[in-house]
Amino acid sequence: MGRTKRTVKDASNPRTDVQAAGRNVFQIFAEKVRDHKGLESRWAVLQETRVEYFRGKDFVSFLRKHSELKDVLESEKNLGAEDIADILLGENLLVRCDRVVKTVRPGKKKLSTWPAHLEIFPDQVFSDNDAFFAWTFVKRRPLWQTILSFVWPVVTLAICLFPVFPHQCKLIVLYSCAGLLLLIFSLLLFRFLIFGTAWIILGKRIWFFPNILAEEATLSELFRFWPKKDEEERPKWTVRLFYAVVAVLFILVLRHHAPDEAARARYQKRVSNIIDDVLEWSPRLALSGMMEKQQHVVNATEFESSNTTSEEQMHHQSNGGADSESGKVQQEGNEEYGSTTDSSQQTADHDL
């Protein structure tokens, strides 16, 4: 039952044993409540910032079941859930929020239980009537996250060094990744087939592993198996019949255009060749291949230079033969000219 106004205790008033190891007891209490698995919470976007939030009614029932958490408050452990929440709001450890979308979307019967987008509520007082409260402090990082932050660079470096792995390690990585991808696609196909069959035949929306594709889900919620309750209206039989016909036609088209045995053999051989190239690659083979390629380039260069030299020699020899022949012709011409001159001189002398 919601309340309109509550008097928040003045934060400036001194409390008895409020400080524990130099920290506010309500800060410690808020961290314990946030880390506890019993309080159901979700993640949403509040003013372009992702925040973790819970519902007011869940907070009341949580403190009723786990009253031992209030022992950290020491002298104020007898306060009720509403009073504690108001103090947390006054200490700026919580902020009251409201859903951005306040109208029922088409096809829905009621508003979303856990909205994905929130906005700050004007009246910052506690209420358990459709009220949401977001944590404002940064959650302490667990030890496994700290260890994981150091492990990720090592994993990244190992991925970059995959080409130089031993052959057995390459096989392990290859088959592990292939098996993981096969599991993921099989799971997605399995849940889609069940959803399509149930939706066409029964008109029910049944998604096994409903949070497997959710962006804002915890690890436990990610692998939740049972589907959520269908809160949407049942689709018309004409729509279901239409999609059933489309599905049948799609299957028939895929079957008609399926590759034959020869094409499948070619694809398999091509993929096998690619995998073999990846597995058999090594720096030694790469260096030897580069050396062989360089040797081929050197041999080709030497061959081209030898061909050029031989061509120049042949050209020089042909030019030398032509010069000698022209010299002989010129010499013969000179001799003929000399003989002609002598005969002319003799004729002139005879006339005289």
Give 158-197 pLDDT, tens digit per residue: 888 888 888 888 888 888 988 999 998 998 899 889 888 8
- CATH of span 19-135: 1.10.10
In contact, 37 and 62? CB cutoff 8 Å: no
For residues 9 and 125, the answer to whether their CB atoms sit within 8 Å is no
Using alpha carbons, select from 105, 136, 104 the residue that is nearest to residue 120.
136
**Spatial contact of 53 and 65, defined as CB atoms under 8 Å apart:** no
Name 86's Cβ contacts closer than 8 Å, sequence gap at least 6.
6, 8, 9, 125, 126
| Helix, strand, coil percentages in the chain from 3-state DSSP, rounded to 5 | 60, 10, 30
Q: Which residues contact 46 (CB under 8 A, 6 or more apart)?
A: 53, 97, 117, 118, 119, 120, 134
Q: What are the tokens at 32? A: 């314990």
| Arithmetic mean of pLDDT, 95-99 | 92
Q: Which of 151-160, 276-285, 310-319 has the highest mean pLDDT?
A: 151-160
Length of the chain: 352
Domain boundaries, the chain: 19-135, 155-237, 259-310
Residue 219 sits at φ, ψ, to 5 deg, of -65, -40
Q: 256: helix, coil or strand?
A: helix
pLDDT computed for residue 132 by the predictor: 94
Q: What is the pLDDT of residues 112-157, one digit of tens each?
A: 888 889 999 998 999 888 899 999 988 877 787 788 888 989 989 9
Specify the residue for token string 């029922």: 104
User: Which of 24 and 314 is assigned the larger pLDDT?
Assistant: 24
**What pLDDT sits at residue 268?**
82
Nearest-angstrom CA–CA distance, 209 and 232 = 18
Contact 281, 163 (CB under 8 A): yes
Three-state SS letters, 310-340: HHHHHHHHHHHHHHHHHHHHHHHHHHHHHHH
pLDDT surpassing 50 at residue 240: yes
| CA pair distance 332, 338, nearest whole angstrom | 10
Lowest mean pLDDT among 81-85, 215-219, 316-320: 316-320
Q: How confident is the model at residue 14 (pLDDT cuts 50, 70, 90)?
A: very low
Handedness of CA 321, 327, 329, 331 (dihedral sign): negative
Closest CA to 3 of 126, 122, 94, 95: 126
Lowest mean pLDDT among 164-168, 209-213, 225-229, 298-302: 298-302
- pLDDT of res. 135: 92
pLDDT, residue 318, reads: 57
Q: Which two tokens stand for residue 31?
A: 């961290």
